[in-house]
Amino acid sequence: MIREFALADFGYLLLATRWTILLALTAMLGGGFLGLVVAICRVLPIRPLNWLTVGYINLIQGTPLLGQLFVFFFGLPLFGLSVDAWTAAALAMSIYASAFFGEIWRGSLQSVPLRQWEAGASLGLTYRQRLAYVIIPQAVRISIPPTVGFIVQLVKNTSLAALIGFIELTRASQIMAAATFAPLQVYLAAAGIYFVICFGLSHVSQLLERRLHVAR
């Protein structure tokens, strides 16, 4: 039965938003951990490790996220590993995020002037100590704007999970548009919710930049 888009329907979209946020948060944490490993492997003076991580980054960045979602959701069952839509989306997005986080943070680490490494060496610090106590704290400041910018993209990319049946904001909007036959109102409401989330993240980034005195 077709009905009008009402406040209760907007509430349904808000309930679905929690899965969008949870999926983005899971991808951010999982991708962040893997991305840190990738970034460190990229800057370590070990060529085979550098080549391996470059190949990983090129593979992940060179293939669409939608294809990666399909690989996990439809491909893993071929090997006897049955996964639900949530697990497939979380795994695919975490791996996808790790390649981009890795490159963002690698660039931030390498943007720290060489003299900082030399200053740490002159103090008798080992390579690991220079990395942990001298380089990473400075790289964190540099990495804030591009990291938050990618997280904003990650939030919007969660909409692709709708194509494997995961009910987040976009999939809930599709269901609601079919029920109310009011796609304009439904998708405008969904767009407004995405805007609030992404604008909030951008505002947090600006606050962190001011607090940490990030150089422009």
- pLDDT (tens digit, 9 = 90+) per residue, 14-55? 999 999 999 999 999 999 999 999 998 888 888 899 999 999
pLDDT at position 216, please?
Answer: 44
For 65, residues 6+ apart whose C-beta sits below 8 A from its C-beta are 92, 93, 96, 157, 160
For 23, 167, 197, 198, the CA distances from 14, given in Å and listed in that order, are 15, 12, 12, 15
Whose tokens are 């962190």? That residue is 208
- pLDDT (tens digit, 9 = 90+) per residue, 131-145? 788 888 888 888 888
Which whole number is the average pLDDT over 111-134? 81
In this structure, the number of other CB atoms found within 10 A of the CB of residue 42 comes to 21
In this structure, the number of other CB atoms found within 10 A of the CB of residue 128 comes to 8
The CATH code for residues 13-168 is: 1.10.3720.10
For 65, 95, 161, 189, 216, the CA distances from 198, given in Å and listed in that order, are 20, 21, 18, 14, 22
- Model-level pTM? 0.88
